Amino acid sequence: MELGLTTFAEVGPGETGTVSPRQRLKNLLEEVVLAEQVGLDVYGVGEHHRADFAASAPAVVLAAAAAKTSHIALTSAVTVLSSDDPVRVFEEFATLDLISDGRAEVMAGRGSFTESFPLFGYDLADYDDLFVEKLGLLLALRDSESVSWSGRFRPALTDQPVYPRPERPLPVWVGVGGNPESVVRAGLLGLPMALAIIGGRPARFAPLAELHRRAVSEGGHEPQPIAVHAHGYVADTAEQAADDFYPSYAAAMTGLGRERGWAPMDRQSFDAMRGPGGSLILGNPEQVAEKIVDMRETLGIERFMLHPSVGPLPHDKVMRAIELLGTKVAPLVEQE
């Protein structure tokens, strides 16, 4: 089973106030280097176009990470394909794959935030249609050097070659927040799926994992891996983990709640989320390993990606969490 990390390069609000985008990106590169040093398998950077995140261009950030590492896989988490140009996405990640000696992945998603749609001139009424069409073009670009294609949302291509070409088929995952139609679409296309579990009980996602496996089979494809992305944190003790993580997490979730109509995050709700069966993968190394193993057994996942930098959490605490994830949690998960 692969273990890794994701981040949106959060710059604030947080326990220690707002971090400058420049400093946050420098911190991010230190995190990737440490993740590789402690033996983690994958690092993902999400795309957002907001003041509270510094990574609107994941491919650029991942290219910088590629120059500082040698074997950790580098993925977007996610690329908001609905509001991007699939040709440009393919070119950027093919280039990243060449720079990194075959470590690039695209995780394509529709996006849980909507800022990119007006920014790039798209109508939210076309939210799903945009993703379906652009995912089809991205896969066509991956599978053939020259592409003939037409659709609603960009100019047609006629026997158009696209370069550079990676030296292997570029891995494309689909990021899913819980929509069954998205799960089935990924499976029928024979694509691996990443489930974002940021609320509720992870066990309730088991039917979606099984739905994906059935769709892969019905589509006539070889079995494809399933990953989970979840908020969480690991510290030396359970009490320290909760006390470290809560201030930044509560600030971030309360801020989003004001936008989306959620109740403010309080300590009682937080403690319920970090308890057995809750969505937060948080605690000491033994507790975090147990939750990951439970998720593997319940969902049948092949990859787990922890997202500790919510808020943001102070950099030194994120670094310690990465160290513990690689040196303490990973051996426990492997042992199980």
Phi, psi of 184 (to 5 degrees): -65, -40
Looking at residue 126, the DSSP 8-state letter turns out to be: G
Phi, psi of 259 (to 5 degrees): -75, -35
Mean pLDDT to the nearest integer, 303-330: 96
Using the structure block, give the residue that is written with the tokens 């945009």.
130
pLDDT in tens, 77-88: 999 999 999 999
- What is the predicted pLDDT for the residue at 311? 84
Residue 14 has pLDDT above 60, yes or no: no
Q: Which secondary-structure segment (H or E) carries 74?
A: strand 73-76
Q: Which of 287, 294, 288, 176 is nearest to 227 (CA)?
A: 176
* Contact in structure between 110 and 131 (CB atoms under 8 Å): yes
- 3-state DSSP: the chain helix, strand, coil percent, rounded to 5? 50, 20, 35
- What is the predicted pLDDT for the residue at 112? 85
- 305: β partners: 4, 229
| 33: containing domain | 2-335
Q: Which of 331, 315, 329 is nearest to 33 (CA)?
A: 315
- What is the predicted pLDDT for the residue at 297? 97
Q: How far is 130 from 153, CA to CA, in rounded Å?
A: 7
Residue 153 has pLDDT above 50, yes or no: yes
- What is the predicted pLDDT for the residue at 17? 55
Q: Do you find a cis peptide bond into 164, omega within 30 degrees of 0?
A: yes
Q: Which of 328, 332, 168, 322 is nearest to 233 (CA)?
A: 322
pLDDT in tens, 184-242: 999 999 999 999 999 999 999 999 999 999 999 999 999 999 999 999 999 999 999 99
- The Cα-based distances of 234 to 8, 30, 70, 244 in angstroms read 18, 18, 25, 10
* Contact in structure between 194 and 177 (CB atoms under 8 Å): no
Q: What is the CATH number of the domain that holds 67?
A: 3.20.20.30
Using the structure block, give the residue that is written with the tokens 């994941």.
58
Residue 312 has pLDDT above 90, yes or no: no
- What is the predicted pLDDT for the residue at 23? 95
* SS3 call for 155: coil
- pTM for this prediction: 0.96
Mean pLDDT to the nearest integer, 116-135: 97
Provide the number of structural domains found in the chain: 1
- What is the predicted pLDDT for the residue at 205? 97
Rg, Å, the chain Cα set:
19
Please provide the distance, in angstroms rounded to a whole number, between the alpha carbons at the two ends of the chain: 11
Token code pair at residue 33: 């280097």
